[in-house]
Every structure is written in C-alpha cells, then in structure tokens.
Amino acid sequence: MRNAMSDHGTLSGMRRLLAADFARILHQTTGGKPTARLRRLMHLLLPAMQVAILHRTAHLLHGRGWRRSAAFVADLSLRLTGASLHPGSRVGPGLFVPHPARVAFCATAGADLTLLPGTLVGPRDWVLPDQPFPADGPDLGDGAIVGAHAAIQGSVAIGAGATVGIAVCSLRDVPAGTVTMIAQRQVRGSRRPQGTIHGR
C-alpha cells in the first residue's frame, strides 16, 4: 500500500487526500448508508469539509514556499470555520473536524484524525501561520481522537488509535490504543489528586 503521506506536496496528491476526507465525512454523517447524489454533494458545504479543503490548499502552498499565500488561506479558514490549522501541519487522509469552532492545530498526524471543538494541539510556544513549522510539535498516530477542550502541547507522541479525553491537558506521550481522561479527585484520605490516567 502506498504511503498516504507521500500525497502531500502535489496537486494530484491533494485531490486524493480531499477524496479521502470527503469519504470519511460522508461516512461519519450518514453512518455509511446509501445517499442520494444531491445530498452527497451538499456535504461539500459542511464546515468539516471546508476545513479540509482550506487546510489542504494552505498546506500545498506552504510546501511550495508560498508562505504568505498559505497564511492567507489559513486565516480564511479561521474566519469562515473557526478552525486554525498551521499550513505546515501534515495530516493524513480522512481528516474529520465535525465542529471546528476554536480548534487550533499545529502538529503532524496520520490518517483518520478527529479533532473535536475547542482543541489545542501544538508546540509549547505557538507560532503564527506565516512562520516556519516548529520542530517541537506533537505527533499523532493513525486514528487519534482529540476530545473537546483538550490540549496536547510539546514534542509528545500520541499513539495510533489513542483518545485524549475531554478537557485533558496532555504534556507527555500517550500509548497506542489507550484513552486518557481526568482522574477523579480524592475526597477522603491523604492521597493527592492524580493528574491523568491511561486505560483501555
């Protein structure tokens, strides 16, 4: 199977990535049920698809050295959808941002990435869209899910199929296939409240 990440940097590759994004959005919103052609086309107007189109375009421009143009497209995405994705962010096929309000992303991710509302994924020191892509951005594996209002910062690795739960701030690696969530505070006893836990 051809590496999906090789699709970055070319117009034909961008079309393949967008086709995969569209297929995933369609599957997520219809449950995989057959739909009429007109209804399928209407999915192009969904915010999730607009995020994908604008980011793929910005990433292509960024890769060709047209950083100002890429930053303009990224800013347009922020204004139209509420999602701010750094143009240098490499995201595999199947990007899904169902509710893009207040989503900020500056990282590398594999296929089938899901970003829920209010997520912050990026380096410790944020960079603007017209600045070079940072070396300390997070790396998310295939099928990673970032929950609503969660944050992932720094050069951490989120394993394939891992889920960072709602309102979790993750500053360390998350193993593949696990779920990270806020632990319950200890009401009784002398034990200190825990930070985050990992569980299958």
CA distance linking residue 183 with residue 89, whole number of Å? 31
pTM (two decimals): 0.84
Task: Render pLDDT for 121-147 as a digit per residue (tens, 0 to 9).
Answer: 999 998 999 999 999 999 999 999 999
Task: Render pLDDT for 150-186 as a digit per residue (tens, 0 to 9).
Answer: 999 999 999 999 999 999 999 999 999 999 987 433 3
Q: To which H or E segment does residue 84 belong?
A: strand 83-85
CA distance linking residue 118 with residue 104, whole number of Å? 8
Per-residue confidence at 49, pLDDT binned at 50, 70, 90?
very high
